[in-house]
Amino acid sequence: MSEILLELKDICKSYPDGSEKRVILDNVSLSVQAGEFAAVVGPSGSGKSTLLSVAGLLLSPDSGSILIAGKDVTGVSKKERTHIRRRQIGFVFQNHNLIPFLKTEDQLAFVQDKSLKDKIRTDDLLRELGIEKCRRQYPSKMSGGERQRAAIARAFVNDPDIIFADEPTASLDAERGRAVAEMIRAEVKRRGKAAVMVTHDTRILDLTDKVYRIENSRLVTER
């Protein structure tokens, strides 16, 4: 059995809404193993991005536990959260979030943790993702698909345990969107990572190993 790299246990998260409290996540639990690509679907405002932010240590849950590679990281300090995100988590966003004045190779160098002995070589990532020619190009000179591939390379460059992808295909046409999802899947399988993708794009769900749906603040397994 593969190692469980991400585990959420009974996560609750709510926000004030006037004099009321709006529950976003209600006792949400899930686990993702090494080499597993999971998708979370649901309507806008259902809590998908909140779930990703909590799992990625960008938001703190009201209650519940977050385990990364078997270690409970729920109550760690802000400094330790930053350290964990840098070392063990990679993010792919809907709008690639590349720095406009950095070339592709510099985008990766900017986030790369130089102290890591097991970091992935930039050359290998760019070749695997088919953007070697973009190595010395600025984002403005790249296509939308190339920019999103560069964002995937940036997410994997520190060899993290977990990849979180927030609507990574939303700004792409069907063909390019599927290609991006295929690349995320290929890297997850090749490198034995866990990945969670939030998406509205039902056309790419066949590429995932598990599909969860958020309904009424709860997470249910679809497949």
Q: What are the sequence ranges of the domains in the chain? A: 4-221
Task: Please list the pLDDT of the chain residue by residue as tens digits (223 residues).
Answer: 679 999 999 999 999 888 889 999 999 999 999 999 999 999 888 999 999 999 999 999 999 999 999 999 998 999 999 999 988 999 998 777 899 999 999 999 888 877 665 556 788 889 888 899 999 999 999 998 899 889 989 998 888 999 999 988 887 888 888 888 998 999 899 999 999 999 988 889 999 999 999 989 999 998 8
Q: What are residue 63's phi and psi, to 5 degrees?
A: -160, 165
CATH number for the region 4-221 comes to 3.40.50.300
Residues facing 213 on adjacent strands = 41, 220
- Contact call for residues 175 and 198 (beta carbons, < 8 A): no
